[in-house]
Amino acid sequence: MDIKNGEVARAVAGNRSEYKPVKSPLLSGADPLHFVERFTAEFNFNLFYIADLDAIMGKGSNFPVIEKLICLTTQNYWLDAGYKTMDDVLSHPRLTPVVATETFQMSDVTADLSKAIVSIDTMRGKPIGVNRSSTTTELINRARAVGARRFIFMRLDAVGCGNFDVTALPRPEKGESWRFAGGISSSLDLDKLSAIGYSGALVSTALHNGSLR
């Protein structure tokens, strides 16, 4: 669930300035609370990933919306709120921080990341944002060195486009849990991820258009 200007946005290829409020046969609007209620009813989900796009882009935040979700629902949430350091992390028992390499400086990180999920954010195969001078392997190894065991591998250029490709994905090490985001469009894609050791994927478009049920 990408939230922009207080509404759920449809993510396409990482072009965030062009993201519009989501339109879906499953929804009657783009309100985040309605989104959670409908997707819980339709798919029995109890965990949602949230990207606060305004916070990630440095244009404010959607904290009041996220606070409302926590107060009015019983679901658990993973939250990428553009964290730069662990001091920025929002704390709540049902909220797990997603430390994304787009905004979180990894070059000299010493904070314990064992309780966070590290998102390796890429565009066309290369890291983006504050760590763009590093390789994906360097970022993964830095995260591992400070306790990270849960990861997301994010291909922003494939998000919402159905361009899934398993060939270049990092392989999990023993004791790690990995998810993938970017272009999942079928159960076959999920099977391919499982075959290389991934625990699952972040999906949205494939649920809205019915290609993944």
Residue with tokens 């009015």: 72
Given 2.40.30.10, 3.40.50.1100, 3.20.20.70, 3.40.50.1820, which CATH number is that of 47-64+76-208?
Answer: 3.20.20.70
- Digit-coded pLDDT (tens) for 147-175: 999 999 999 888 877 678 888 899 999 99
pLDDT in tens, 97-153: 999 999 999 988 889 999 999 999 999 889 999 999 999 999 999 999 999 999 999
pTM, rounded to two decimals: 0.93
Mean pLDDT computed over 185-197? 93
Give the separation between CA 14 and CA 122, rounded to whole angstroms: 10
**Which one-letter amino acid corresponds to residue 174?**
K
SS3 per-residue string spanning 145-212: HCCCCEEEEEEHHHCCCCCCCCCCCCCCCCCCEEEEECCCCCHHHHHHHHHCCCCEEECCHHHHCCCC
Determine the pLDDT at residue 167: 85
- Which two structure tokens, joined as six digits, stand for 47? 């965990």
The predicted pLDDT at position 72 comes to 97
pLDDT band at 185 (very low <50, low <70, confident <90, very high): confident
Provide the terminal-to-terminal Cα distance of the chain, rounded to the nearest Å.
17
Q: Which of 35, 28, 59 is nearest to 49 (CA)?
A: 35
pLDDT digits (tens, 9 = 90+) for 56-101: 999 999 999 999 999 999 999 999 999 999 999 988 999 999 999 9
Where do the structural domains in the chain lie, given as residue ranges?
47-64+76-208
